Amino acid sequence: MSEIDELKKALMKAESVAVLTGAGISAESGVPTFRGADGLWRKYQVTELATPEAFAKDPELVWEFYNWRRDLIGGVDCNPAHNALVELEKRIPHFTLITQNIDGLHLKAGSRNLIEIHGNIWKVRCTGCGEIKLDLSPDMGLSPKCGECGGALRPHVVWFGEALDQDLLQQAVAASRNCDVMLVIGTSAVVQPAASLAFEAKAAGATVAEINLERTSQSDHMDFTLIGKAGRIVPKLIEDWP
Ligand code: OAD
């Protein structure tokens, strides 16, 4: 039996599935990954733009970067991997999708039980009153202000050096510890604490599988490593279910 068929069998039996996704799942939609050959980090000094210090020093430069990303992400569509996870969710009694992506493509595809642990680029947060709002404008301007209190708005995303929302992280850890199967899709799995979720699942006895273009530092600990494009492999996992 092929690895895909074996993993499919484990999924069909599973009561509870957790999925962790990273930038690789959106690559085929046209969203640049961070660390790859065409990665965002080759074009931008992300660590100098996506930080609270950068925003304090030059908010207009930070908004210029996020407006560029909004414009880019606003023009792309979900791909077969996002769509296949929506279908998988319908077939599994307890399903949790944890994403490190801020692009909102899982929501757009229709995933329901979704934890966006790094935030969402389409949300803004007031640095004054803390109000969080959805704003789908492709261009927020260079110094958007809060409609409630006039404070400076910032993207509602987790920046380098910032802590994750502890409630969301706890939900993600609980889902990882309680699943029968965990899929880790399109992430280099180097950024903590997301990178440790697969170990939480494995330690609790789950079958853990990775889908990536290449092997990662976690491959040796995986029960399955499926090498290839997420848009080709993930749909295969839901083909021909009874
Ligand atoms: P990376 O850019 O680090 O990794 C993307 C992974 O996707 C790599 O392992 C690629 O091999 C793989 N990949 C690329 N195209 C693929 C495809 N079509 N199918 C399957 N796999 C593919 O992105 P992340 O792991 O998501 O955090 O990065 C994690 C975090 O680092 C991001 O959320 C961001 C960044 O710092 C914050 O901004 C807080």
Ligand 1 site, residue 210, Cβ cutoff 6 A = no
- Residues 68 and 136 placed together within one structural domain of the fold: yes
Are 137 and 219 within one domain? no
Cβ(23) to ligand 1 under 6 A? yes
Assign residue 70 the CATH number of its domain. 3.30.1600.10
Whether residues 127 and 194 fall in one domain: no
Whole-number Å distance, alpha carbon 149 to ligand 1 midpoint, is: 36
Q: What is the pLDDT of residues 94-150, one digit of tens each?
A: 999 999 999 999 999 999 999 999 999 999 999 999 999 999 999 999 999 999 999
107 and 124 fall within a common domain: no
Instruction: Compute the distance between CA of residue 102 and CA of residue 230 in angstroms, rounded to an integer.
Output: 18
Q: Is the pTM of this model over 0.85?
A: yes
pLDDT along the chain (242 residues), means of 10: 94 98 97 75 72 94 93 96 98 98 98 98 98 95 96 96 96 98 95 91 98 96 97 96 82
The per-residue pLDDT for 25 is 98
Structural domain that includes position 17: 3-31+78-118+164-236
How many domains are contained in the chain?
2
User: In angstroms, how far is CA 194 from the centroid of its own chain?
Assistant: 10
Residues 42 and 94 in one domain: no
In a domain, 241, yes or no: no
Does 86 share its domain with 186?
yes
85 and 189 both lie in a single domain: yes
Closest protein CA for atom 14 of ligand 1: 24
Residue that finishes a domain, picked among 157, 183, 217: 157
133 and 23 fall within a common domain: no
Rg (CA), the chain: 18
- Return the pLDDT at 42: 58
162: Cβ below 6 Å to ligand 1? Answer: no
Distance 83 CA to ligand 1 centre (A): 18
Q: Of 27, 18, 17, nearest to 212 (Cα)?
A: 27
Ligand 1 atom closest to the Cα of residue 158 is 39
Residue 34's pLDDT is what?
82
Per the domain annotation, does 110 fall within a domain? yes
Q: Is 118 annotated in the active site?
A: yes
Residue 169, Cβ neighbours under 10 Å: how many?
17
pLDDT at residue number 147: 94
Regarding whether 224 and 127 lie in a shared domain, the answer is no
φ/ψ (deg, to 5) at 72: -65, -50
Same domain? 172 vs 215: yes
Which ligand 1 atom is at minimum distance from the Cα of 194? 29
